[in-house]
Each structure stands twice: as C-alpha cells, then as structure tokens.
Amino acid sequence: MNKTNGDGAVNASQANSNGSLLDLIRQPVSRRDFIRVLGVGAAGLIIPQVICVQMAEASPSAQGADVAKPKGMVIGDPTRCTGCRRCEIACTSFNDGKNQPSLARIKLYRNLNFGPNGAQQGYHRDAGHFGNFLLVQEACRQCAHPVPCMNACPHGAIEVSGPVNARVVNASKCTGCKQCQAACPWDMTVFDTVANKASKCHLCNGEPECVKACPNSAIRYVPWQDRSKDIPTKWVVPAYLSTPQNIASTCVTCHK
C-alpha cells in the first residue's frame, strides 16, 4: 500500500517510481539477453584477477628467478614426537621473548587433536589424539622458486638471508597486510597481532632452536630438499595474491 501525505493525496513521485520498478521486473527477458547479462557479470569477476596475474608475471621483481637456493630445512619425525611442545616454547622464547605457541614457526599445536587434515576430515580417521595418535610437526618448506610468500608481498619484506639462505621476513619493511600468510599453501607464516608483523622460520642461522630443544630427536635440520610436491597443501591460493612488488600502494593505504 502506498503512503499518503497529510491531505490524503497519494505521493505521485513514489507511486511512479514503484510502478517503473515493477514494470522493469515483470518485463520478459529473452534467452539471448539473459546470456549477455551472465557474460558481463562473469567478465567483471574474472578480468581483475587476470590483470593481476599478468602484471605479476610481467614484473621481474615478482618472479624471484634469481632467488638463492636454501641450504637447509627443518623436518619432523611424527613417530618420535610425544607432544611435549618444547619445540614451540623454544621457538617463541628465542624469537619473541615469550611463551606463545600460536607464534611458533614450528607447528604442532594445530595438529594435536585431529592431525593436518583438521576436525572435519581427520576425526577418528587421521593423525592426532582423536585419530591414530600420530603427532605431525610442520615447518616452512623454504621454497626455492617460486616462493609464494615472497612473490605475494607488495613491499619486498621477505628476503633471502644468509648463511643458509632462509626466507626471512624483514620486520622493518612489513606493514602487516597478511598477504604472505594467505599466499602460503601450507599456512606456515605466523602473524603477531600485538606487533602487527608477520614472521616465519628463518632456520636460526643453521642451528634451529626447536631442534635443540626436542628431547626425542623428533625434529631434524637437514640439507634442503624440495618437498612442495609431496606434502598436501592447506588450501588453494587465489591467483590475485601474487601481487607484483612494484604496486606497494595496494597495502599502504590501510597499513601505515
């Protein structure tokens, strides 16, 4: 029912507006017009991502083809792990000066109950306390090339650091945009909400603290090997996260 003014007269402009809208909704649409509308909508979703990918591929700084190969990596042996979590304490104590497992670069806490596949897929079927009791440790793969987190950072905050060529977050360049965290297929980048900085395993210059702290030798530091193909990923990384490093303004607006 249309509203009326104080004199009881119908608001003519509102009535005309409602009538025009109803006419538009009830207007028959041909199959060709319907397909044309769908095509325009799909193009609006796809084209921006395609442009971002093409810009990333065209940017030499985003390619990382000349990134030095890492010399080592941290791996875990689930058959030796008892879940004491000393590795996580050692990591955060050394790097952050506090005991906060959620910031640990070696990941065990998230796999304690259901394993790497999580509660939905791993409940009574996978590793962890609610599965076969196997406790799986996870650490940065130190990707050789491409390096997803390095390519995604619009500020070039992830650098190669000697003497073991670890992929390290330069805190002075990090603005807290979290693109590196979202770009890692294995979710190995951590984020400190207090410091508003990202961080990741830097191998402690070849002498990882987590390896030293493990009483069961369940964590080892070994020569680097490419494990990116044999370890299941946590999620599929959207193509638009491969942001070229020469368009840092995409993050500076919000993260200052």
Residue pLDDT, tens place only, 100-154: 998 999 999 888 888 888 777 767 778 888 888 899 999 999 998 788 899 889 8
User: Are the C-beta atoms of 144 and 67 separated by less than 8 Å?
Assistant: yes
Q: CA of 95: how far to CAs of 30, 99, 170, in Å?
A: 64, 10, 13
Give the whole-angstrom CA distance, residue 76 versus residue 82: 12
pLDDT for 65 equals 46
Give the whole-angstrom CA distance, residue 181 versus residue 189: 5
pLDDT for 205 equals 93
pLDDT for 29 equals 63
Domain regions of the chain by residue span: 62-252
Residues 6+ apart with CB under 8 A from 11: 2, 3, 4, 5
The distance between the two most distant Cα atoms of the chain, rounded to a whole number of Å, is 88
Residue ranges in the chain whose pLDDT is less than 50: 1-10, 48-65, 243, 245-251, 253-256
Give the whole-angstrom CA distance, residue 141 versus residue 135: 18
Phi, psi of 155 (to 5 degrees): -115, 5
pLDDT for 42 equals 56
According to CATH, what is the number of the domain 62-252?
3.30.70.20
pLDDT for 72 equals 95
pLDDT for 38 equals 63
pLDDT for 221 equals 97
Residues 6+ apart with CB under 8 A from 56: 62, 151, 242, 243, 244
92: exposed, middle or buried (C-beta count within 10 Å: 0-12, 13-18, 19+)?
buried
Token pair recorded at residue 243: 């942001």
Give the whole-angstrom CA distance, residue 191 versus residue 169: 11
Cis ω for the linkage preceding 232 (within 30 of 0):
no
Q: CA of 43: how far to CAs of 29, 38, 56, 57, in Å?
A: 20, 9, 20, 21
Phi, psi of 174 (to 5 degrees): -70, 130
Q: Which helix (H) or strand (E) holds 90?
A: helix 86-96
How many alpha carbons fall within 13 Å on the CB side of residue 45? 6
